[in-house]
Structure 1
Amino acid sequence: ASFLQVAKTVDGIPFGITSNKDVLKELGVSDDAIVLLKKFDEGRNELTSSIDEASIREFIQSNQLPLVVDFNPQTAQKIFGGEIKVHTLFFGSKKSDDYEKLRGEFQTAAKDFRGKTLFVFVDSDDEENERVLEFFGLKTTEVPAVRLITLKDEMSKFKPESSEITSNVLTTFVKSFFDGTLKPHLLSQEIPEDWDKTPVKVLVGKNFHSVANDKSKTVLVAFVAPWCGHCKQLTPIYEQLGEKYKDSDDVVIAKMDATANELEDIKVQSFPTIKLFPKNSDEVIDYTGARTVEALVSFIDSDGKDGGKAATTEEPAEQQEGEEAEEGEEEPVHEDL
């Protein structure tokens, strides 16, 4: 019954039941067992004890993909849609002289973490993977490189201390994540020399807190993405807002590219996200009003009471594929990589 229940809900894998003696003999099975046959790695896996619905699902989840999964449009859904939400990624070029050696080291490390994290190879030569590299703040000149990402609760990225790619270094890196001793790797651009020379100040990870948490000022920050259509629509409105407050001593209008700069204490779930950091307060207030100059002015001048709500860590409902966001809505931060 457990096997049939799992078979009804798992896509992409053919299921079969047999008690035929010839088949059992061919498979080398003498007792009750679940056998997973595949055309990669060890060729087969067996589950022979504690067989119930939960263990069958875990068994399939742990063994249905190769030890090292090549990232491409065909595997993306299994990688991101699966139950394993911790992914260790190796960015490299298949054309490089040391590709096979480095992949071998990566695969060796993967054996110790099967079922806990997916080890994924991302080919930096494939133009379709350019966005994936950008998402991790990497350029093709910086590969080979390894990163780890967890999609549990709040998304976080991690970077090894060493750039050396060996099974020992990788094992220590991944183990330290599961031990809870690894600190997230936060992206930050360099502070532009003219970051404060325009009405809308430019923030990056390295100067965000010194500006936004300045208790002597009320600071409005728009978290944007360069590819976001709604952010582009907001730009002229936001620039008018900056002009209005450019001579103010206690109001700062600022923006930050949240795809290239990350903050440990603020997670941006959609674009654009607008937050107010009121003067003489530790409160952070999310803007929920209309994207007009008048509405934003009212939000600022009321210290966030008009058109705002206390910041929360809840994620917004996901936009259905193929649906366009309505005016005033945000674009999800997680695009298909």
Structure 2
Amino acid sequence: MKSLLCLASVISLVFAGDVLYYSNTEFAAKMPKHDLAMVEFFAPWCEECKMLDPAYEVAAKMLKNNDPPIPLIKVDCTVDTLTCVQYGTNKYPAFKVMRNGKAEDYTGRVVADDIVNYMKHRAGPSSKEMKTVEDVEKFLSSNDYCMMGFFSNNENEMAMAYRKVAHNLRTEMLFAHTSEQAIMDKYGYNDAIIMFQPKMYQNMFEQPERMYEDVASVDKMSAWIQRQRLGLCSERTEQNAEMFKNPLVVVYYDVNFSMNLKTTMYWRNRVMKVAKKFQDAGKEVMFAISNHKVWLHELGTFGLADFVDNRPVFTPKEKPVVTARDTRERKYVMSEEFSEENLEKFVNDMMDGKLEEYMKSEPIPASNDEPVKMAVARNFDEIVNNEKKDVVIEFYAPWCPHCESFGPKYMELAEKLKSEPELTMVKMDATANDIPKPFEYSKFPMIYMVPMGNKKHPKLYTNALEVDPLLKFIAKESTNELKGYNRKGKMKKTEL
């Protein structure tokens, strides 16, 4: 029995690792003492929780050695229900970032590197004061881009602007500052703001240290930092995607700086060589590399991944694949095999308007005379953006049971409204066609009213998938009152 107890104790220690497990009592007592922590609310039977355990454990080990340490915590919601109810967790796993007992949702990927970067950017003051050369060396050893302010006077205009920028961008960058002369002598900077590129990203095409040389403006400094951080060619992730502006060229392959550095840098250097030519020529275009495993759905929208059971499936190629978007959001795919020469020509042709736009679209219907018109990507503007008519459009998926049951009701409503001269009823297969902005879908079916005089601001229908409530919505939102129905959706009386 004693040996069994010892074995159980060892297993418990192995299981716990560097992740802390808090009961209701421990959570209430200890959480307010943590300046910063991450909490996973889980259930032992949850398969996704089990699948994410290794990444969470690796992140916990890395953050345990951070300066200052950042704890990662787990709460078993089948046992410590009081805490879970308090923080409104009704599905598992749920991850929250806690600062002095106050919580915010963590919506990033549960990947060790992402968790570590996310939490490190939130730890301590927005800009850390460096007292020794050793402090700076440790700070710059990070795999993140680092901002460093060297100020002879911490209260001058530039230093104050820098601290405001650090506060605003602390979740995106690591910031530090110093007024120690020994540090300024060591690095050769005085009253300067420098961006340091991490060693793993350094290359022959751009400077590893970049100096801000504009005025003490928070807006200008922020814009400079965000642009310089992306450099000639940075990794585009789900977390930073909004930072990349069109025209944008994306090269997809197995990008992984942690586990696949050699291959990652091999292809990145070739992209950067091309990007440098465009920079030197003064041509405004951004380049990025992306992991094809992360961007499967996007590859599908460019026709580079097949959809099987509504899941994108991409077969990796020997060489990277390339897509692009221009300033008008038009999409392009490089059909030639990846090479520096082909990439350069592809980008030049896009910018010169010589490429054919890629459009995922079903064929335009030969006839379209039914009460419900069929829209595809290639006739979308003609049908939906017709300025002379209000348009009601249903985005559906062929495999969706709700769409299937709603289909006859939508047709019934279209029959009722087919004589309305200023209204068109439309449906579109969202899985087989590109859906233009500003339309979005998170489930099926999605129904929008597109007013004739305001095509850029469609109105989403959120009520029951039934004839009467949808008719009332259309009657209320139509630009001009319907001929056969009043604003409340009641049929008008006809004169005898």
Q: TM-score, normalised by structure 2?
A: 0.44
Counterpart of 1:63 (choices 228, 231, 254) is: 228
> Where in structure 1 are there 5+ consecutive unaligned residues?
311-337
**Counterparts in 2 of 1:305-320, with a 5 A limit?**
305-309=475-479
Residue 254 of structure 1 pairs with residue 415 of structure 2: no
How far has the Cα of 1:35 moved from its partner? 1.8
Query: In the TM superposition, what is the alpha-carbon distance from 1:213 to its structure 2 partner?
Result: 7.9
Q: Sequence identity, in percent?
A: 21
Residues in 2 aligned to 1:101 and 1:165: alpha-carbon distance in whole angstroms: 13
Structure richer in helix, relative to its length: 2
Per the alignment, residue 324 of structure 2 pairs with 148
Does residue 32 of structure 1 match 2:191? yes
Distance 1:8 1:214, change over 3 A: closer
How far off is 1:282 after superposition? 8.6
1:17 maps to a residue whose letter is H
Matched, 1:121 2:289: yes
2:275 equivalent in structure 1: 110
State how far apart, in whole Å, the 2-side matches of 1:6 and 1:215 are: 45
How far residue 245 of structure 1 moved from its aligned partner, in angstroms, is 4.6
Query: Considering only aligned residues, what root-mean-square deviation do their CA atoms show, in Å?
Result: 4.9
Structure 1 match to 2:45: none
Q: Is the 8 A contact 1:212 1:219 kept in 2?
A: yes
* 1: CA distance, partners of 2:224 / 2:470: 53
1:15 equivalent to 2:175? Answer: yes
Aligned to 2:178, what secondary structure does the other structure show?
A: coil
Q: Is the 8 A contact 2:391 2:426 kept in 1?
A: yes
Q: In structure 2, what is the Cα distance between the partners aligned to 1:215 and 1:60? A: 42
Equivalent of 1:163 in 328, 333, 336:
336
2:209 is aligned, of 45, 60, 67, to: 45
Q: 1:61 to 1:225 in 2, by over 3 A?
A: farther
Number of residue pairs aligned between Structure 1 and Structure 2: 285
Query: What whole-Å deviation, never above 9, does each CA across 1:234-287 have from its counterpart, x for those lacking one?
Result: 6523432214656997687531134642377x741456242468xxx8986956
Change (3 A) 1:34 1:76: same
Compared CA separation, residues 99 and 60, structure 1 to 2 (3 A): closer
Are the counterparts in 2 of residues 258 and 268 from structure 1 also a CA contact under 8 Å? no
CA shift at 1:293, angstroms? 0.6
Shift of 1:119: 2.8
Letter in 2 for 1:134: G
1:89 aligns with 2:250: yes
1:132-151 deviation line (CA, Å, top 9, x unaligned): 3224342135964322347x
Alignment partners' CA distance in 1, 2:355 and 2:438: 16
Does the CA contact (< 8 Å) of 1:288 and 1:307 recur in 2?
no
Partner amino acid for 1:130?
Answer: L
Identify if the C-alpha distance between structure 1 residues 15 and 297 changes in structure 2 by more than 3 Å, giving closer, same or farther.
closer
Alpha-carbon distance between aligned partners in 2 of 1:248 and 1:120, rounded to the nearest angstrom: 49
Shift of 1:18: 2.9
Pairs within 5 Å for 1:289-300: 290-291=463-464, 292-297=466-471
Return closer, same or farther for 1:107/1:257 CA change in 2, 3 Å cut-off: farther
| Contact 1:70-1:122 at 8 Å conserved across structures | yes
Counterpart CA distance in 2 for 1:48 and 1:274 is: 47
SS of residue in 2 equivalent to 1:189? coil
Q: CA 1:45 to 1:307, structure 2 compared with 1: closer, same or farther past 3 Å? A: same
Secondary structure of the residue that 2:468 maps to in structure 1? helix
Q: CA offsets, 1:207-258, max 9 Å, x none?
A: 445666899999642134679xxx8646523432214656997687531134
Normalising by structure 1, we get a TM-score of 0.61
Deviation for aligned residue 1:294:
1.9
Shift of 1:158: 2.6
Give the aligned residue type for 2:270.
E
Deviation at 1:202, TM superposition (A): 4.2
Structure 2: segments with no counterpart, 5+ residues: 1-159, 306-313, 481-496
- Cα distance change, pair 33–232 in 1 and its aligned pair in 2 (3 A): farther
Corresponding residue of 1:205:
377
Q: Which has the larger radius of gyration?
A: 2
Query: Does the CA-based 8 Å contact 1:90-1:120 persist in structure 2?
Result: yes
| Secondary structure, counterpart of 2:323 in structure 1 | strand
Structure 2 CA distance for partners of 1:64 and 1:288, relative to 1, 3 Å: closer
Aligned: 1:134 with 2:306: no
RCO comparison, higher one (Cα < 8 Å, 6+): 1
